[in-house]
Structure 1
Amino acid sequence: MTASYADDLALALELADLADRVSLGRFRAVDLEIRTKPDRTPVTEADLATERAIRDRLAAARPDDGIIGEEFGTEGTTSRQWIIDPIDGTANFLRGVPVWGTLIALAIDGEPVVGVVSAPAMGRRWWASRGDGAWTVDAPGTTAAAAPATAGATDAPQPAPRRIAVSSVAALDDASLSFQSLAQWRDAGYLDRLLALSERVWRDRAYGDLWSYMLLAEGVIDIAGEFDVKVYDLAALIPIVEEAGGRFTSITGERGPGNGSALATNGLLHDAVLDALR
């Protein structure tokens, strides 16, 4: 593990344990509170409670770091910023679809260097730190520091993490594409180009949200793209995709999470996809 990020990654994984307990406890709750934000997107009580819990822990563990969160905005202006999406896939969460999760990133001078994606309803977690590769584990348990003590309890065996890597697919006609939703591409003025690209690839699907990018990092699909995304939607994904050997830019080729769109590939296909979407 890269020594300079070891403690930060450990904290990010602890935050994910905390987030999982808060969010999963309200998943499919019959009395779940839901409201609509000014941008017409839904937010649930679980989104708010999860982000509050993460912020409270960061305030204690990293009081000098800044925070950017979807629900409660930005705190601090330091070079180190934690970027949080408490529940990525809120629409799935509120309908009972298990494809959702918490995204936690640490960015230094705007560059995401640590990323954790935890999807407790799917029993999956992914993470990466710069220089240490990308990893996943099935049915992650809580860390000893975060889990409540139970008298007489014994530690259950935990699945071993495994390193992940993108595919080696090098031709568009062999590639699998995930595009999030047709409406996004239509509203961005790119629907015709998406449809043309879909005619060139082997297979197209809309897996959606964090799931597309984690499938890509595992080498299961080869291209993922979307529009109308914010920094907290993408920051945690970037280290995982790139440490798995992939490439992550905007639809028009800019690096970084703040460009309003995302294009992730296995790297081998990236220039061809950029050309197809121009």
Structure 2
Amino acid sequence: MTASLTNLEKIVREAGSIALSHYKNLEHLKITQKSPRDFVTEADIAVESYLKETLSKQFPQFGFWGEESGQSENQASRWVVDPIDGTHSFSKGQYFWAVSVALEVNQEIMLGAVYAPALNDYYCAEKNKGAWKNGVPISVSTEQVLSSAMVATGFACIRSYLKENNLQRFCRIAEQTTGQRRFGSAALDLCMVADGQVDAFWEQELNLYDIAAGALIAAEAGATITDFKGNKGVFPKQILATNGRIFEQILSLM
């Protein structure tokens, strides 16, 4: 079977339904810790197990890389999966978490889907063909002035106990912008850039499965994707996504 957004959507939505069934029964949710500040729930495991089994069966030509189960043998062409991006938010009953699935072929992200079941929002994109939210084409904002912008960020670096963290950078940017948000899911943050809900997002110390799908969706909606020095591309350890119009202004503060 050829991978497409159409057949991917059915699979990702079903994965979201599995996550939602656990979300509606949080009082019985089993939670363990992979490290002092990194949680995994039985929902993460269940969703990834479904995605790995289903994607591997329907598309045996592709390998698999999931946050919880690791990498399969074939990694030249692979599905890159975060079963629940925003696990901590999920476990607290908040809305900002998502299933993130991307298809990477020879180091290029070709398909991406980010589904937020609690918000009932489904984002997707295909390389060079555009991005959509709930079936409607989306594009980045037209904000041109950083002082009027709303930005989003995250603090995976603090969770990882890094001395080089995001706090001073956040303070610099917060002082120069109108609104700042911390939603707790990099996948959704990137989709919000794509949809014009925020004008820029940055974070450091992420993994490819956190951002692969969201970065494609943002790029296909017109976003500029770079590292903190302005080098274009998808850099999980440093990602800056903007609407392009405020790129130079925010880059000067990175």
Structures share fold, TM-score greater than 0.5:
yes
Please name the residue that 1:95 is paired with.
92
CA contact (8 A) 2:56 2:63 kept: no
SS of equivalent to 1:236: helix
Q: Does 1:81 align with 2:57?
A: no
1:89-140 deviations in whole A, cap 9, x for unaligned?
A: 1001111112111000001111112110001111111000012211011xxx
Q: Does 1:54 align with 2:51?
A: yes
Between 1:57-66 and 1:194-203, the stretch displaced more is: 194-203
Paired residues for 1:158-169 under 5 Å? 161-169=135-143
Amino acid at match of 2:18: V
Separation in structure 2 between the aligned mates of residue 127 and residue 225 of structure 1, nearest angstrom: 20
Q: Given the alignment, which residue of 162, 167, 178 partners 1:202?
A: 178
Separation in structure 2 between the aligned mates of residue 182 and residue 42 of structure 1, nearest angstrom: 13
Please name the residue that 1:235 is paired with.
212
Please name the residue that 2:145 is paired with.
171
Amino acid at match of 2:6: A
Q: Does 1:262 align with 2:229?
A: no
Separation in structure 2 between the aligned mates of residue 27 and residue 37 of structure 1, nearest angstrom: 20
> What's the TM-score, normalizing by structure 2?
0.90
Q: Given the alignment, which residue of 207, 215, 219 partners 2:192?
A: 215
Between 1:37-46 and 1:110-119, the stretch displaced more is: 37-46
> What's the TM-score, normalizing by structure 1?
0.83
- 1:258 deviates by 4.5
- 1:14 deviates by 2.1
Amino acid at match of 1:79: A
- 1:70 deviates by 0.1
1:130-161 deviations in whole A, cap 9, x for unaligned?
A: 12211011xxxxxxxxxxxxxxxxxxxxxxx2
Matched positions, count: 249
Q: 1:73 to 1:199 in 2, by over 3 A?
A: same
SS of equivalent to 2:174: helix
Separation in structure 1 between the aligned mates of residue 165 and residue 28 of structure 2, nearest angstrom: 39
Separation in structure 2 between the aligned mates of residue 118 and residue 257 of structure 1, nearest angstrom: 20
Please name the residue that 2:118 is paired with.
121
Structure 2 unmatched runs, 5+: none
Q: Does 1:22 align with 2:18?
A: yes
SS of equivalent to 1:121: coil
Larger radius of gyration: 1
Q: 1:253 to 1:12 in 2, by over 3 A?
A: farther
- Percent of residue pairs bearing the same amino acid type: 30
C-alpha RMSD of matched pairs (Å): 2.1
Separation in structure 1 between the aligned mates of residue 235 and residue 207 of structure 2, nearest angstrom: 6
SS of equivalent to 1:26: helix
Please name the residue that 1:157 is paired with.
none
Q: 1:78 to 1:228 in 2, by over 3 A?
A: closer
Separation in structure 2 between the aligned mates of residue 212 and residue 195 of structure 1, nearest angstrom: 19
- 1:183 deviates by 7.0
Between 1:73-82 and 1:97-106, the stretch displaced more is: 73-82
Amino acid at match of 1:59: S
